[in-house]
Structure formats: C-alpha cells, structure tokens
Structure 1
Amino acid sequence: MKLLLSAYACEPNRGTELGNGWNWALNTARLGHDVWCLTTVEGRESIEKEVKRLALPNLHIVFVELPALVDKLFDYHLGFYPHYMYWQHRAYQKAKELNKEIDFDLVHHVTIGSLQMGTALWKLNKPLIFGPTGGGQEAPRALNKYFYRWWKMETMRKVISELLLSLNPNARKAMQHASLVLTTNQDTYDMAQRIGALNPKMFLDTSLPEDFYPEAYPERLPDHTLKILWVGRLFARKGLPLVLEALSKVRPDVKFELTILGDGPMHDFVPGWIEEFKLHGKVNWKGQVPWDEVKRAYTNNDLFLFCSLRDSSAAQFLEAMAYGLPIITLDLHGARNLVPDDAGIKVPVSTANETVKAIAAAVEKLHDQPLLRRQMGTNGYKFSKSQTWTVKTQHINDFYSKYTQAKPAELTVQH
C-alpha cells in the first residue's frame, strides 16, 4: 500500500508526540507499506541519521520547511497555533505534488493529535484516517487553584479550542471526510461526534516498544515505607501540587517516600510546596534524569501516583504498568480510558477538598494492602503487553485494509 503519513511531531528516541510520530512511520513501514511521512525540519538531523541506520527502502521522510519568520513563531507559547496552521498549508501543497507522482492509497494523520487543529489533507480526496487524537479534554474548574498563575492560560486554551472548532475549516472538514476518526478519550470522542465525524472510534494512542519491558514481572517485597513515584514535566496541568497536598493528608502512621522525576516551568514552586505541605524528609525531587534512571525508578518503587488535571493519554501510565506498578490517578480524560479498572484506583473529581481526601484514602488503602498492590500491578503488567507498537500497528493495518476503498457514506451504513 502507498501510504501518506502526516506527522508534524516526529523524532526518533523521543517520548510523547515526537516519539508517536516517528513510531507510526517506522512501524507502518516495517509492515511492508511504502510510507511517505510529512514532518517538520525540527528533528531532521536525528531522523536522517536513524533512517540511514535502518536502511528501510520503503520509508521516505519528507521535510516540509517554513519561512524563517514563521518558524520563529514556534518559540512563543501561542505561536504554535499559527505555526502549525501554516505548516498544514505547506504540507498539503507538498502532498498534492507527491500524489500526482505516487497516487497514494490512503492518508493517515498521526500528529499533532489535536482534533481542533484538524488536517488539510482531506483535500486530497483519498481515504483518510485521522488520529489517534485528543483535544476534547478540559481541566476541571473545581481544581483551578492547582494551576496557580497558569489558570489564565488554561482558560485561553479553552477559548482558542472553541474558536478553532468554529472557524478552522480543516477541523470540521477532516471529520466529515475521514473514513475513520480515532479518539484517545471519551471527551474527544464526544467532540468528534459534535462536529460531524461520521465514524469515530475509541483507540489508545499510547504504545511501547517490546524492548522497553523488563525481562520478567518485577516482584517487590513489602516494606515498612511505601515508595511512591511521580514522573512528568512540571507543567501546571500535570497536577503535582494536588498530589503533594493529598500526601499531606495521609494518616500519620503511614510511612511513605515520594520520588519526583521531572522538571519544567513550575520548578521554582516545588521547594515551597514541600514546605507548605510539611513533607520534609518524605519527598526526593531529582529533576530531569536520564531514561535509564527512569526505568530503575519504575522498578524500585511500589506505586505510581500521577493525577494530571488535563491529559489526552499520558504515556507514563503505560510505562508504569509495564513495570508492574499499581496506579493512583484521577477518573478523568485519558487516564479514565487508559488505566484498567483492576490495575489501579481512579479517584472521582469533585471539590478540591474531597478530591484531596479521596487521593489520600487511596494511598492509605494501597499501603495497608500489599497483596492488592501486587494484584493491581500484575493486571496492569498484563494489560501493557497488549499495547506494544507491534500490536498497535497491526490493529492500524487492519483498519488500512478495511477503509482503503470504503467511502464515508458507506461507513455510516455499516455502523
């Protein structure tokens, strides 16, 4: 099959969307398809090095360059939006040229995974698969205090999201022309339906390579001190202060140690939070660490506690489950769909005080019941094995076969 991928974010040996874009390109090519992947010039050096190393003759990376003035927009917080919109325009022009020569069988938009931003490639009038995508999730207003000064930016994001849904033709047109729209959470599924998606389907976008997993399930001997892990960027939406406040409410007899791995814009707040919540001696903040140390942390801890306030589908959950860690998180957005019910505790979101109490109670429960921790960890480990890139791309390959010739109108009859 001659496949055109749109992967604005794409770079080997990276996490999040950059890694997703690269892995979709690499793994679809490994299935035997002739893959042309449109991306930015940002990761060009590392991409070209990896492509040369792999020597896959059916993997073609097409770099879509932008004028220098437009590229500078990427350095500003809200500059991403016009940067991406302009890149879409140039990517479509390039795709149109390529299509005259190659005549693609199918188009697959993989990153950016934002429903509101859409894709201009619907104009090629080819079978289109859009996603996996997020974008429908909104941070709960009841927990806005944990955003500190960043709540204004969160509010602005919501306004921009609604404007894009109303004014960006590439959002609605992509939904209406796509043979299949894959959404990572229920919030985005509902949004896709609202703006006219003919065939939305839930599909987790988080996957892991086979070599990520430990050789065997990591057995953990119960200890007097519960070792808790938090991994992520220090963005407001990642909810670290909520976790710290909750830990301050845990029963005094519960001995625990929290390890924080990550850095980011809220760096300067962390010492103040530790002081405010009286957690001295209970928190070990290591900042940004090498990937090997993150893996060791997944092995050496007893529990993964991560309560993001807005997330499409955080990869950390799958990473933690791959190492047999039970999860405590919020029953919200991507976590609600990604974390199996028997692999952790998903805390309902209500008022700030009630949510804090519920997180603290979940920590106490897993402290008191080491056998439950092991059972949840085992369940998560088994689930994570079903989410490898090999398995995921095989699922996508089934979609490719099914939807290559089908028209959107035919799909509405089938479903």
Structure 2
Amino acid sequence: MSKTKIFVSAYACEPDHGSEIGVGWHWVLEMSKYFELWVLTRKSNQENIEQWLAKNPETNEIHFVYYDLPDKLRFWKKGMRGVRTYYNIWQLRTNKIVKQTMIENDIKIYQLLTYGNALWKASRFGMKQTFIWGPTGGVDTIPKEYSKHYTAKARFIEWARRCVVKMLPINHGFKKRCKNADLILCKSYNMQNAVPEKYRDKAKLFTDVAVDIKEKEVSKALHHSTKFLAVGKLDAWRGFDLLIEAFALALKENENITLDILGIGIDDERIHRLIQDFGVASHVNQIGEVRIDEYEEYMRDCDVVVNPALKEGAVTVSFDSMAYKKPLICVDTGGYTRYFTNDYAVVLKREGRAKLIRELKTGILKMTDELVRRQLGEKAFQEGMKYTWEDKGKEIEKLIKDLIRD
C-alpha cells in the first residue's frame, strides 16, 4: 500500500544540530516512516543533508527540494541577523516551487513545519491545499516588569512584539492562515488561545520537541561543587539575567556551585556586565557558542540544567536534560513545561520578577543535595522514555491520519 504524500516546508532542517534546525530534521525523519515526503529547505543545508543520507542509506525515501535567495537578495543577511525578512521573502519566492512540486507529484497535503512562528508567512498555494500549520508559536509576550530591566533595543523589541500580538485579531495574514489551516499545532496555550474562536476547534496543543535517547553517555563523575548549565541564544527574554541574580543570592548561602552559560546573542554584553556587577565572575562562566559535540560534553559533565526562559525557548536543551538524567529547573511557559512536573524537576511560575528570582535561588540550593539530584535525574529519565522521538512520530502519524479520515 502506497504512503500518503505530504509536502513539508522546513526552512530550518539539518542533521546534527540543536534548536529549531534539529527539530525540523527529527520531524522529517519520523514522518518519513509513515508518509512519502517532499521537503523544501534551504540550499545551504544541502551538503550536510546529502552527506548524512549517504551514510544512512536505510533512511525512508525523502525527496528534498533546495532553494536559497540569490545573492542580490541576501547580501545583508548574516547568521540570524535579518532572518525574519529573509524567511518571509524565501516563502514568497518558493511559492512557485511548492505549486509545481505538489501538482507534478499529485500531493494534496502541505505542512508548514519550520520556522514555527505564527507571525511569519506561509506558501499561498500550500495554504489552499489540505494545510497543516505548525507546530507554531511566537505569540508569547514578556511583561513590562521584566522587560524594563532590558537594554533599550531589547525593550523596543518586546514593546513591538506586544503591539503585534495585541493586533492579531485584525492581522489579515494571521487570520487567513488560521482560516485556511485544516490543523493548527500550537506550541503553547497562548498560541492556542490566540487562534480566533471560530477556528479554535482546529487548534491542538502540540509541542515540537521530544527526547532523543539514542547514544547518550551519562557521566557519573562526582564534582567538588555542583555544576549548573544554562544553554540558549542570548536574548533578553531568555532570563539569563534572572538566573545570574538568583545565583548571586545562592552563593551567599553555598559557595560550592558553578554555572556555565552557552550561547551568543544580542544580550551578550549585558550578561557579561551583570556577571561582573553581581560579583559572580569566579563562579559563572560565559562560554559563548560551542559545537554540538562540545554541547554534548557540557551536558554529560553538568549536574543540573537550568532553563530560565520566560517563554518557549531552549526546549531541546530541556528535553535533552531527561536523556542525560539531569534534573531541570525551568519557568512554566504553558508549552513544553507540560511535560515536566515537580516530581522530577523544579517548575516555577512566572509571577513577580523578585519572587521568581527568589524561587530560582531556592531551586538552585535544593539541587546542591547530591541524593536529590540523582533521584530527580533518574525519575526524569524514566519519564522521558515516554516522550521519545519515536513516540512523537506515532503521535504525528495519528494526528495526520485522523485529519485525512475526517
């Protein structure tokens, strides 16, 4: 029996990466077990994808289609700078590719997989087919109580985001995507509630990440101090400032703790300054960007993972903590944190800023107990076995096949 054909738009999709790029790759691999896929992604991903496929010839057949903007339309893009504008132009320019590929191969289903940002464009032709949108998000905002401590640039970004989200009820592009979608996979409750009420029956809460159990080496080394690890792009909303303040408070009660921060971003200088201002430079290390193998080594070697992000962010790292048997301290975002409870993690409510810092401090101190860490880490691993990528693939299959039947 032939597999159902699906066209997947996966701008971010590449093997051996974390974050959304790795998420896109995992989704494609899992979906290919159940469906025949045509996957549109960036041409810059082609070399790595083809090298991986050559080493893994048993992979289910996936038809990749590659496209990048011509140089004259991307000279201004560097890394993640300008990615929103580039992505939206890319969606416009690839609409003909989507149409041609779907018609030539008699594909009736279109999924916009990555980027998972509800404020960004989708293929005009794809939206007119059976349209699966997501997992998507990007409508969470940061209260002024937190953002007033940011740099001027970051404050403006958060102000602009609040304005855009407030205007969603009259945002034509957003409403059109909601109307056209046959299934909307929402990363968080806020995304689900942002969908207009008359379309909300199509919106399903569905996180985009799962636990990658395979080939994880778990370090059993004992440290003289408790090693905490925080990973993510250094954006203001990711809460590294809160973590540094909480760490400074915790150090007053226990000096046998250290923190490594992995990542780069626009908040780099502020984070460096805060480390100096709070006098924690001898205990907090701002490492910068690392390769995937270095990231894995840091995960193996740490005792505790902390994700202080105030909305959906560093989700892959959080799920990786389960695979590495590391307890997680995180802030409840109403999305991925549905998979974590205080039975095997420390999940904090995003209430007042001062209160959250105090509770972060309490969570840090709790994790200095080696027995507590080991018990929570083992429980987290056992729980994570329920949320593997294989399990996620089966969930995806059921959702799509239910949609087709309906």
Whether 1:226 aligns to 2:230 is no
In structure 2, how many angstroms separate the alpha carbons of the residues matched to 1:295 and 1:303? Answer: 14
Q: Counterparts in 2 of 1:344-359, with a 5 A limit? A: 344-359=345-360
Q: What letter is aligned with 2:361?
A: A
Structure with bigger helix share is: 1
* 1:332-375 C-alpha deviation (Å, 9 max, x unpaired): 344533433322112222332222112112222333x4443333
Letter aligned with residue 43 of structure 1: N
Which aligned pairs between 1:205-224 and structure 2 lie closer than 5 A?
205-214=208-217
Distance 1:335 1:204 in 2: 6
Aligned counterpart, 1:413:
none
Structure 1 Cα separation of the partners of residues 214 and 334 of structure 2:
28
Equivalent in the alignment of 1:151: 155
Q: Which residue of 2 aligns with 1:11?
A: 14
CA distance in 2, matches of 1:165, 1:363: 41
Cα gap change, 1:118 to 1:264, in 2 (>3 Å): closer
1:40 aligned residue: 42
Give the letter for the 2:191 counterpart.
T
Deviates more, 1:13-22 or 1:193-202: 193-202
Provide the secondary structure at the position in 2 that maps to 1:249: helix
Whether the 8 Å contact between 1:183 and 1:201 is mirrored in structure 2 is yes
SS state at 2:305 partner: strand
Q: Note the residue ranges of structure 2 that are not aligned, 5 or more in a row.
A: none
Letter in 2 for 1:22: W
Q: CA deviation at 1:111?
A: 0.6
Normalised by the length of structure 1, the TM-score is 0.86
Q: Secondary structure at the match of 1:360?
A: helix
Shift of 1:134: 1.6
Aligned residues: 400
Instruction: Give the distance between the partners of 2:16 and 2:44, measured in 1 at CA.
Output: 14
Paired amino acid for 2:92: H
Considering only aligned residues, what root-mean-square deviation do their CA atoms show, in Å?
Answer: 2.8
* Aligned residue number for residue 100 of structure 2: 97
Question: How do 1:67-78 residues align onto structure 2 when only pairs under 5 Å count?
Answer: 67-72=70-75, 74-75=77-78
What is the DSSP-based 3-state SS (H/G/I as helix, E as strand, rest coil) of the residue aligned with 2:8?
strand
- Cα distance in 2, alignment partners of residues 257 and 32 from structure 1: 45
8 Å contact kept, 1:175–1:195? no
Q: What amino acid is the match of 2:201?
A: L
SS in 2 for 1:345: strand
* Distance change (3 Å), C-alpha of 1:54 and 1:370: closer
CA deviations over 1:199-227 (Å, ceiling 9, x no partner): 2111121124442533xx65575x66322
- The residue number in structure 1 matching 2:112 is 109
Gap change, CA 1:185 and 1:312, over 3 Å in 2:
farther
**Change beyond 3 A, Cα 1:154–1:101:** same
Q: What is the DSSP-based 3-state SS (H/G/I as helix, E as strand, rest coil) of the residue aligned with 1:13?
A: coil
Pair 1:326-2:327 in alignment: yes
> TM-score of the superposition, structure 2-length normalised?
0.88
Aligned-residue offset at 1:41: 2.3
Change (3 A) 1:351 1:69: same
Cα-to-partner distance string for 1:41-73 (whole Å, 9 max, x where unaligned): 232332333344444572111123434333345
Q: Partner of 2:180 in structure 1?
A: 177
Which secondary structure state, in structure 1, belongs to the residue aligned with residue 43 of structure 2? coil
User: Could you tell me how far apart the structure 2 residues matched to 1:146 and 1:342 are?
Assistant: 32
- SS of 1:4's partner is strand
Q: 1:46 to 1:363 in 2, by over 3 A?
A: same
What is the rounded CA distance, in whole Å, between the counterparts of 2:362 and 2:121 in structure 1? 41
The share of aligned pairs that are identical, in percent, is 25
Whether the 8 Å CA contact 1:146–1:242 is kept in 2: the answer is: no
Corresponding residue number in structure 2 for 1:265: 266
Q: How does 1:4-403 map to 2 (within 5 A)?
A: 4-29=7-32, 31-55=33-57, 58-72=61-75, 74-75=77-78, 79-120=82-123, 123=126, 125-149=128-152, 150-162=154-166, 166-169=170-173, 171-194=174-197, 196-214=199-217, 225-250=225-250, 252-254=252-254, 255-312=256-313, 314-334=315-335, 336-367=337-368, 369-403=369-403
